Amino acid sequence: MFQSIHFNSKGRAVTNASKPEVLEKLRQIVGAENVLVDAEKVEPYGGDAVKEKFPPEAVVFPESTDEMVQILKLANEFLFPVTARGGGVGYTGGAVPIDGGIVIGTDRMKRIIEINADDLYAVCQPGITTFALQQEVEKHGVFFPPDPASYKDSYIGGNIAENAGGMRTPKYGNTKRYVLGLEVVTATGEIIRTGGKTEKNVVGFDLTGLMCGSEGMLGIITEATLKLLPMTEATSTVRASFKTMEAACKVLTKFTPCGILPMAMEVIDKYCIEAIEQNYAFGLSKDANAILLVAVDGSSEEVEKNAQIIEQILSENGGFDVLRAKSKEDEDKLWDVRRAISPSLMKFGTLKINEDVVVPRSRVPELVARIEEIGKRHNTFVANFGHAGDGNIHVNFLCDRENPESIARARQCVKETFQLSVNLGGTISGEHGIGYVKAPYMDYAIDAPTLEIMKNIKKVFDPNGILNPGKMFV
């Protein structure tokens, strides 16, 4: 039986999905080769980046909306759980079948149906990666702005279901801003279509927005119409070191008075710097206790002007070793530092509990300072980095996986960090969703009447409770 650090696991659940007649019907729907039941084959589909495994009873790979409809009608008939899964790179267990049943893999649903550069939209299935979609649309002189760190592995369907963010969020916003319309199969096997192909659409309730961030609990996305933007002419990135995290974070509000809205603003603390230097030896300053990366885009003239102003602002506000990329290659090297953080932090512990709290940008310095205090008070190592430009900080508590006391201290740190974020005008999740990991803390951020409305919405879309059970609501 698996022991979760987040809640008392029941071990691998057995439901009606294991019945021979159900498995046979699934094979008839999608083909026998597209149904996995062997323990060693389904095991990889029982976890995500949380590294906790709850193997499903079967994994099913449909290729079309019609097949998805048949699967969900079957699930309602036999009342077994269904969990939709994309790339499996989430950080909150949102696509993990903790109550058993089947996992629906969208790997075969990866077609780009249409790219319309004139009207600035693309239509695609949910199983295409963000990176693959970006590569294709850029051939048409347009781009898809959302860029989660997992963009090479995360699927579009999963990004929509989690309302993923990324480093470009300060300027371009998160995924839901770029979802014009959806085709969704509900829990009862009905096809609904929300939104359309136009930017303006105020006909009826905003069901498109409702589906964004719903974590596969209201329906399964089978097609998405996505908003595109014209390609920018140029980009530039500036990196600066600081003596303290507080000094680096205080710079975040200095660009607005100059009329500059950076595309990205990423902050890295001293522990992250130490870890990545030991692993990769980037040659970062030994005096750096924090690093700030600032990126801008636009016309070549505009980018050059703004990059110079950014260099000046950083230098005048405590930044040193200020470095501006002179080429695309140089720019990639600057961002390599940011991408190297997560794998490097494991030197500080055998278990990394990664949370993504968010506060108003001006409160980031206070957030980071008080999180450090929380870690010290509970004798738990903490490292902070992330999307400081939109107030979204990735807080990493490192502990000993084999030491229950160490884990308990880390979980107490998480609890206090969530409460702190809410008290500072923020919330408990900026882009990682809720899943089962953050479900016990939902009432920190949402009052009881609002939570009850959400539960009632769930009942309308999924009367039998078969879609992604055990998530968000506890």
Q: H-type helices in 281-434, by residue range?
A: 300-316, 328-339, 341-344, 364-377, 404-423
Pick the CATH number of 349-432 from 3.30.70.2740, 3.30.70.1110, 3.40.228.10, 3.40.50.720: 3.30.70.2740
Question: What integer pLDDT is reported at residue 11 of this predicted model?
Answer: 53
Q: Highest-confidence range of 42-56, 117-131, 329-343, by mean pLDDT? A: 117-131
Question: What integer pLDDT is reported at residue 6 of this predicted model?
Answer: 75
Identical fold at 234-342 and 349-432?
Answer: yes
Burial class (CB within 10 angstroms; exposed 0-12, middle 13-18, buried 19+) of 378: middle
Residue 108 CA: distances (Å) to CA of 30, 57, 222: 11, 20, 11
| For residues 70-81, average pLDDT | 97
Does 472 have pLDDT greater than 70?
yes
| Residue in the block written with tokens 């994309």 | 86
Return the ∠ at Cα 71 (arms to 70 and 75), rounded to 5°. 115
Does 2 have pLDDT greater than 90?
no
Per-residue pLDDT reduced to its tens digit, 331-352: 999 999 998 898 899 888 899 9
The token pair that represents 433 in the structure block: 């969703």
Per-position DSSP letters for 333-358, written without gaps between them:
HHHHHHHTHHHHGGGG-SEEEEEEEE
Per-residue pLDDT reduced to its tens digit, 211-237: 999 999 999 999 999 999 999 999 999
Mean pLDDT, the chain, whole residue set? 95
Domain spans in the chain, listed from the N-terminal domain onward:
112-230, 234-342, 349-432
> What percent of the chain is helix, strand and coil (3-state, nearest 5)?
40, 20, 40
The hierarchical CATH code for the domain 234-342 is 3.30.70.2190
Cα gap 52→46, rounded to integer Å: 8
Cα gap 386→389, rounded to integer Å: 9
Pick the CATH number of 112-230 from 3.40.462.40, 3.40.190.10, 3.30.465.10, 1.10.8.80: 3.30.465.10
Measured distance between the N- and C-terminal CA atoms of the chain, rounded to whole angstroms: 21
Cα gap 67→254, rounded to integer Å: 53
Per-residue pLDDT reduced to its tens digit, 137-176: 999 999 999 999 889 999 999 999 999 999 999 999 999 9
Residue 308 CA: distances (Å) to CA of 240, 258, 324: 13, 12, 9
